Amino acid sequence: MTAPDNARNTKVMNRFDVTSRLVKKLTREEAVIGGIGNTNFDLWAAGHRPQNFYMLGSMGLAFPIALGVALAQPDRRVFALEGDGSLLMQLGCLSTIATLAPKNLTMILMDNGSYQITGGQATPAAGVADLIAVALGCGISNGAWAADEEDFERLIDQSLAASVPTLIGVRIDNKPGVGATRRDPVQIRERFMMGLGVRQAL
Ligand SMILES: Cc1ncc(C[n+]2csc(CCOP(=O)(O)OP(=O)(O)O)c2C)c(N)n1
């Protein structure tokens, strides 16, 4: 059995372009969590905002961190960006998110079918594993592959009105991220907490 056709009939997009399209839509101090490596590099390059958090070092934590933020601040829209290799390492978060079901959470999977940043080794998502199908099986009922950039933007808009969490799958090319966050975890955390209004500047 191979991955369903809907995973294969999508346009191959570019992570920086798609991330920039998302960032352009943000006007309400939405939180955005970038995963390890390329997802957070491109989030940074798309234009830093105080409500951005950039994960360093650990794969698979963008969605779990975003879940925590979404539960803690239900009136704020929370976005999360994660690579396929990272999500594969942390699949359990999908069923947890489906169970807790914060409707203010929009997750974006950047699927290049590889561990791009460590040398482009193929992930199972390049062949047999359809991560949107996996998520649907975990109970994420509002999950879909974006057909192209316009469809991506439509799915983002649709997620804002959804009554359950959303997962949008984007097939992307293998280009590396175009920016680089300063690797200072304490600064990243403090800046984010100030951006969310839960920490005052010293
Ligand atoms: C537990 C663990 N294993 C391996 C690594 C090394 N590592 C860092 S990023 C990465 C690949 C991430 O792949 P993906 O999430 O698909 O993002 P991409 O690089 O393709 O953008 C790997 C293997 C790590 N940081 N942690």
pLDDT digits (tens, 9 = 90+) for 60-72: 999 999 999 999 9
- Pick the closest to residue 41 from 187, 175, 186 (CA basis): 175
Q: What is the pLDDT at residue 201?
A: 78
- For ligand 1, what atom is nearest to the CA of residue 125? 16
pLDDT > 70 in the chain, percent: 96
Distance (Å, whole) CA 132 – CA 142: 10
Of the residues 36, 39, 90, 171, which should be mutated to test ligand 1's pocket, given the most ligand atoms within 8 Å of the CB? 36
Cβ atoms within 10 Å of 116's Cβ, excluding its own: 23
Amino acid (one-letter) located at 5: D
**Residue 7 binned pLDDT confidence (cut-offs 50, 70, 90):** low
The Cα–Cα gap between 64 and 87 comes to: 10
Check if 114 has its Cβ closer than 6 Å to any atom of ligand 1.
yes
- Helix (H) / strand (E) element for 32: namely strand 31-34
Residues 6+ apart with CB under 8 A from 60: 35, 82, 86, 87, 88, 89, 90, 93
| Whether residue 147 has pLDDT greater than 70 | yes
On whether the CB atoms of residues 3 and 137 are closer than 8 A, the answer is: no
**pLDDT tens per residue, range 155-195:** 999 999 999 999 999 999 999 999 988 999 999 999 999 99
Q: Is the CB of 118 under 6 A from ligand 1?
A: yes
Residues in the chain: 202
The answer, yes or no, to whether any atom of ligand 1 lies below 6 A from the CB of 38, is: yes
- Identity (one letter) of the amino acid at 113? G
The alpha-carbon radius of gyration of the chain (Å, integer) is: 16
Q: Output the pTM of the full model.
A: 0.96
Between CA 195 and CA 189 the distance in angstroms is 10
Ligand 1 contacts CB of residue 85 (under 6 A): yes
Report whether pLDDT(2) > 50: no
The closest of 119, 143, 145 to 13, measured between CA atoms, is 145
Phi-psi region at 143: left, alpha or beta (left = phi > 0; alpha = psi -120 to 50): beta
Band of residue 200 on the pLDDT scale cut at 50, 70, 90: confident
Q: How far is the centre of ligand 1, averaged over its atoms, from the C-alpha of 158 (Å)? A: 30
Average pLDDT over residues 34-60: 97
pLDDT digits (tens, 9 = 90+) for 91-133: 999 999 999 999 999 999 999 999 999 999 999 999 999 999 9
DSSP 121-157: EEPGGGTT--HHHHHHHTT--EEEE--SHHHHHHHHH
Atom of ligand 1 nearest to the CA of 37: 9
Q: How far apart are CA 69 and CA 139, in angstroms?
A: 20
CB 143 within 8 A of CB 167: yes
**Nearest ligand 1 atom, CA 15:** 21
Distance 118 CA to ligand 1 centre (A): 7
